[in-house]
């Protein structure tokens, strides 16, 4: 079940006049250019999983800390020799194995249902065929399955061994994009995917898009935090209306 994100108190509301798309593209590229030296592009891939395993990993990670979703994924891999065996497992057993994630009682049956849908549509638990499809078509195939949204479809293509040029947007990435004005403060994570992808060069390869996601995510975790963002130490502050407003307010109060 997708959960709508809401703008935080630090985010400056977009003005009624729509920003110039060309200017937004320039800003998106400048943000990428500035953050890459900070976080070390090209960034090594954090996973080398087949696409079905990446699908499970991504579904476990929703609204869950990486350490807990990683522990749950390892518990499933240790308990079941393959995903077919996982599908035949009692849902209560699966729920117990992943009890550290958010909403294990929902995720256990949902993940099993999604993998069953993959098997029914393909005749086997195999998503390698997606590599032969255009990115938009591959994402559409995945998102036709109930429970798979834009973030998950992009993660399967980008993070798995498919290494396809798709741009995932997580909550940290989304927050930085809102605060810097790349997307309106009212735009949820799901609809932001095509908008943020459209601001980047069409010919960017999988590594470049992965780097873009990673640097914005890392910046959101380490600097542009949900609470107490470190605007004074941010390399983007001159591009960020939210950061400028916060620093100006701090100056008036000092």
Whole-number mean pLDDT of the chain?
93
152 with 67, same domain? yes
* Per-residue pLDDT tens over the stretch 184-225: 999 999 999 999 999 999 999 999 999 999 999 999 999 999
Tell me the residue range of the domain where 125 lies.
Answer: 51-159
**Cβ atoms within 10 Å, residue 66:** 10
Task: Supply the pLDDT for residue 17.
Answer: 60
Query: Among 159, 194, 222, which residue terminates a domain?
Result: 159
Whether the predicted pLDDT of 111 surpasses 50: yes
Contacts (Cβ under 8 Å, ≥6 apart) of 148: 55, 114, 142
Q: What is the CATH classification number for the domain harbouring 146?
A: 1.10.340.30
Domain count, the chain: 2
Query: Among 159, 177, 195, which residue terminates a domain?
Result: 159
pTM score, two decimals? 0.90
What average pLDDT score do residues 237-248 get?
95
83, 89 contact by CB (below 8 A): no
What average pLDDT score do residues 140-147 get?
98
How far apart are alpha carbons 254 and 252 in whole angstroms?
Answer: 6
154 with 233, same domain? no
Q: Is residue 13 part of a domain?
A: no
Q: Is 116 helix (H, G, I), strand (E, B) or coil?
A: helix
How far apart are alpha carbons 52 and 61 in whole angstroms?
Answer: 14
Contacts (Cβ under 8 Å, ≥6 apart) of 122: 129
């Amino acid at each position: 079940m997708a959960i709508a994100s809401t703008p935080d108190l630090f985010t400056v509301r977009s003005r009624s006049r729509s920003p110039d798309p060309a200017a937004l593209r320039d800003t998106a590229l400048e943000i990428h250019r500035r953050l890459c030296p900070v976080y070390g592009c090209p960034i090594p891939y954090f996973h080398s999983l087949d696409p079905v395993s990446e699908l499970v990993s991504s579904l476990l990670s929703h609204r869950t800390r990486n350490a807990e979703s990683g522990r749950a994924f390892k518990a499933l891999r240790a308990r079941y020799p393959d995903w077919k065996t996982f599908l035949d497992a009692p849902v209560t057993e699966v729920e117990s194995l992943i009890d550290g994630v958010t909403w294990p009682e929902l995720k256990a049956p949902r993940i099993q249902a999604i993998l069953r849908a993959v098997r029914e549509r393909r005749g086997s638990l195999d998503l390698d065929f997606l590599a032969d499809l255009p990115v938009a078509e591959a994402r559409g195939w995945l998102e036709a399955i109930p429970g798979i949204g834009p973030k998950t479809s992009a993660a399967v293509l980008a993070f798995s061994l498919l290494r396809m040029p798709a741009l995932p947007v997580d909550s940290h990435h989304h927050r930085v994009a809102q605060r810097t004005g790349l997307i309106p403060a009212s735009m949820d994570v799901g609809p932001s995917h095509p908008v943020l992808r459209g601001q980047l060069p069409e010919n960017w390869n999988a590594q470049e898009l992965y780097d873009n996601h990673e640097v914005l995510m890392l910046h959101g975790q380490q600097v542009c935090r949900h609470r107490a963002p470190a605007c004074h130490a941010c390399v983007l502050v001159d591009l960020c209306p939210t950061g400028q407003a916060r620093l100006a307010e701090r100056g008036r109060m000092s």
